[in-house]
């Protein structure tokens, strides 16, 4: 059971917008630790998608956006493309565990 809770799966049609939630607690998001998001394409290693809650590394399309409020965070993907089909993970720091923690991951299916 992950410290950060994500829905197991989401889906959307090409061109649509989907959101993926990530619920934490007072020892991570609530303690003001930042959230990161990673994309893992099938058979590949993870790729940093969002850092410091809302920032995109260079090269990440602006179709990807994210937010954080209180003990929750979310990733939004607009203008869905078939190549967005992947697993998405949220990640933060937890001060009770004294280490980084990941969400369980959400599989995005582009219908």
- Contact residues for other proteins (CB under 8 A)? 2, 33-34, 36, 38, 40, 45-48, 51-52, 57, 87, 89, 91-93, 97-105
CA distance linking residue 103 with residue 111, whole number of Å: 24
* Closest separation in Å from C-beta 79 to other proteins: 25
Judged by beta carbon, residue 50 or residue 77, the one nearer other proteins is 50
Judged by beta carbon, residue 28 or residue 65, the one nearer other proteins is 28
Burial (0-12, 13-18, 19+ Cβ within 10 Å), 92:
buried
Judged by beta carbon, residue 25 or residue 78, the one nearer other proteins is 25
Judged by beta carbon, residue 15 or residue 57, the one nearer other proteins is 57
* Closest separation in Å from C-beta 91 to other proteins: 7
* Closest separation in Å from C-beta 77 to other proteins: 19
* Closest separation in Å from C-beta 15 to other proteins: 28
Helix/strand/coil for 84:
helix
CA distance linking residue 86 with residue 45, whole number of Å: 11
List all residues 6 or more positions away from 65 whose beta carbon is below 8 Å from its beta carbon: 50, 54, 56, 75, 76, 78
For residue 37, what are the β-bridge partners? 50, 90
């Amino acid at each position: 059971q992950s410290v950060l809770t994500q829905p197991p799966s989401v889906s959307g049609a090409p061109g649509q917008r989907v959101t993926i939630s990530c619920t934490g607690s007072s020892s991570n998001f609530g303690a003001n630790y930042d959230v990161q998001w990673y994309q893992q394409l099938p058979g590949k290693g993870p790729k940093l998608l969002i850092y410091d809650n809302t920032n995109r590394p260079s090269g990440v399309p602006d179709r990807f956006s994210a937010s954080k409020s209180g003990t929750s965070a979310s990733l939004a993907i607009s203008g869905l493309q078939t190549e967005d089909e992947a697993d998405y993970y949220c990640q933060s720091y937890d001060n009770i565990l004294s280490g980084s923690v990941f969400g369980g991951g959400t599989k995005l299916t582009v219908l």
